[in-house]
Chains A and B, each alone.
Chain A
């Protein structure tokens, strides 16, 4: 499956993401610069990595969501192409309207980088099928604005339609997210946004490989 990584000035986990995808699939992903207006048809997985696009000097992800390349991502997503946004990528997907809700400043008001535990809340998405339902994963986080919030109706709807892919275990919620939400998918199930960094836990050097199955799932490398 061909993957592409979106590059925007200020993103800084792009190299981590490219390395992870290359490591897992054996093939380097395409890279697509902010000014591109289309994404090749044969790309089946688009990844927006983490970082501080445009410095995050406005609301995180707000400028990125308005760049030409995001219109191209939106068009592909509407056609069913798989899209993953991690950290700043998640913020960008929210600002683009591809996912519901918002990410506020962490409840601690501080940047936090540590390992947390994630519960696989829905193991039947395209991104989580390599895990089992309720499985507990290790995963690092590194963010300042990861406090997931939405209105009560939207929250109820997300929960009712099983759109929560990952939750922080209650004792490791690093940011105050509602319902311990760490990652959600859209209704159609082809767009995933998550704050934690599975790309930083995929090989022995990282001290574990719990993040690997997410990319294997998204790349179609596990039996559904």
Chain B
């Protein structure tokens, strides 16, 4: 028995589909009649926040998305950037927040699966992944369960699929207690002359369904992800999809093999809103109608209704328009990989989206309007920020600087994340040059002797909360800086904007101002946004997450033999600060994590200075003059130095007596546009003279020596003690019986 298509459309049913009364009226006006049940589902899938960007579109349009290397900006499955020699990098970041909170393993796993599919849909073989994860406070009863499930899910999918996870972030804050964030990034490499798009071409051509069968999992997932959570959250578990990385790996190989044959005219993966969204997108982009016969759709459950098939978010599925004469060849490839191959419809010239099921027409809608006429809102927003800088005199110096540094390194947000990334395969494919633990992950470009790509994902949500505009700028600047710290030329970025309910003016203000900051920084740093995703309604019972616009960036290293690492220093190297002394402590990690104070304005970002200092560091690295490099970010100069000595397993002798300002500001302040580099001692004067000539603030801080981090008059800590403290928090937190019991 199947669910009939003649369910009466009531107000409750409309509301349950996440459609507002005025949005329903828009549907009535558009089609001139009451929609069928299936049609209502289709509208709900196309017009929810997740798929339509109805609250953010107006502001997303302001972002810089072009550049000399950009081959494909936002609007396709992923962005595409030229890296020379006929190759390009294809990348995107996407959230899977709501599903991961409901069902952490599968939510995170399918987040990884979805982003990998976006990349290989374009014809690229995935070569790197990253994951930016944010959880509630460690003591919250759900946190361990979520950390353990999300990390296992990310690893379970990515490891089996076979992509190295080379970077990411893990952060804890009470504001994520009711909504964790899982932002998954993937990048792949393709030939610039073999990029595949979703735009259908040609009338009467077969629309082919490929991959896994359709089940009832994930029905309504995108609509769920466009609403806030409340006590009924457990009831939403069936909206989470179930991942199958084995099928995805087969789908990858089959798609890449098929693309080689020249059979593929258009391709679109089935992600959010499954068959509906993919078919509409292919048709609407190509100015064509699409007719689907659901009786041909491979299903894994009996008696599925048209509504369920159209809204299922079963994973590992693709829709393609194929050259009819290559159909047999295409089918053979999919049979070889054990995947379903079914012709489920055709392209038409009438611009209608027609769905047939068991001899009945269950939907007949105008295909262009489904996307183009989606509601768009210019939501009310409020100007935020305006906090004045915190006077450093209001912050007492710690009695024991060494203990202060150890407290910082051993705190949840600054401790080593090794527990997490050792559960990810960081080495598969044999091209990983830098794995997590440094500034950026680096992967060499296969088939090229010297070229490599660097990847970093960054945002400092406490800055964005304190000042969304500066925080937006800072997220971009830090990502750009992390890429630069390896010697990479930052090429382009992807943004994953995670916010609360945009119907509240203060949340909308965060979104608008963060986008303004991101746009300004991307323009100033020539770091265009080429893809992205917006996740709103990250709220539970009215409490929103910290505003979290995650930036994922890609940089190009022309010759990896000259790349810089965090831990490459040798004894005797000079330690040089690039950038000025810090006298600002507002919103610093040290104040938050060691003093429990979140006060004042975040550090401001001077984009001219960021660019000037970064360009200087990059050119010194590329000239082979730098033995190690690390940017200064959360935790300030002290954390940077500590991370460098732990990575190199060599100490440093540091003297701050020439610096200006109180020691706690110098050591723990987070002023931007700064790096620490080590250079061979005989090059130190040359580097400093070059910096002086270029008008770059610099300071020789000391030298690499022995096995302790010594800061004259303030601390002397063995590297082994730093490491023991830094490495111990995460295992102590997670590897306890309660954590296992919670799984």
Contacts and interface: CB of A to CB of B under 8 A. Distances in A.
Interface string B712-743: 00000000000000000000000100001000
A68 interface: no
A110 B428 contact: no
Interface in B394-426: 422-426
Contact of B245 (A52, A108, A144, A197): A52
The 8 closest A-B pairs by CB, nearest first: A12-B162, A55-B246, A52-B160, A16-B430, A142-B425, A113-B425, A10-B246, A111-B423
B237 to A, nearest CB: 22
Contact of B429 (A16, A54, A56, A57): A16
B337 A140 contact: no
Chain A's interface: helix, strand, loop or mixed, by majority? mixed
Interface stretch (A93-101, A157-165, A198-206): A198-206
Contacts of A176: none
Contact of B427 (A19, A56, A110, A197): A197
A61 interface: no
Nearest to B735: A108
B145 interface: no
Interface string B421-441: 011111111110100000000
Contacts of B160: 10, 12, 51-52, 55-56
Interface residues of B, number: 31
Nearest to B743: A109
A112 B429 CA distance: 16
B153 to A, nearest CB: 11
Interface string A121-144: 000000000000000000010101
Given A10-B246, A10-B249, A111-B155, A51 B427 contact: no
B250 interface: yes
A158 B160 CA distance: 31
Nearest to A115: B427
Given A10-B160, A111-B155, A55 B245 contact: yes
B250 A10 contact: yes
9 contacts: A10-B160, A10-B249, A12-B249, A51-B162, A52-B159, A55-B160, A111-B159, A142-B425, A205-B431
B622 interface: no
B424 A15 contact: no
Interface of B: 152, 155-156, 159-162, 244-247, 249-250, 253, 337-338, 422-431, 433, 444, 560, 735, 740
Contacts of A83: none
A52 B337 CA distance: 15
User: Contact size class for A?
Assistant: 20 to 34
Given A9-B249, A111-B155, A15 B429 contact: yes
Contact of A20 (B337, B427, B430, B560): B430
A187 interface: no
A59 interface: no
A206 B253 CA distance: 25
Contacts of A20: 430
A114 B246 contact: no
Q: Which of A13, A111, A206 has the most CB of B within 10 A?
A: A111
A112 B444 CA distance: 23
B428 A12 contact: yes
Nearest to B160: A52
A118 B250 CA distance: 33
Given A52-B245, A110-B152, 10 more contacts: A10-B160, A10-B246, A10-B249, A15-B430, A16-B428, A51-B160, A52-B160, A52-B249, A56-B246, A142-B159
B430 A19 contact: yes
A12 B161 contact: yes
B430 A111 contact: no
A142 B427 contact: yes
Contacts of B155: 111
Interface string A169-213: 000000000000000000000000000010110000110000000
A55 B250 CA distance: 10
B131 to A, nearest CB: 14
Interface string A54-73: 11110000000000000000
B427 A140 contact: yes
Nearest to A113: B425
Interface string A1-40: 0000000011011011001100000000000000000000
A103 B142 CA distance: 32
Contact of A9 (B338, B422, B423): B338
A151 to B, nearest CB: 27
A114 B422 CA distance: 6
Nearest to B336: A33
A54 B247 CA distance: 9
Contacts of B245: 52, 55
Nearest to B731: A108
Nearest to A110: B423
Nearest to B449: A205
A176 to B, nearest CB: 14
Contacts of A12: 160-162, 249, 428
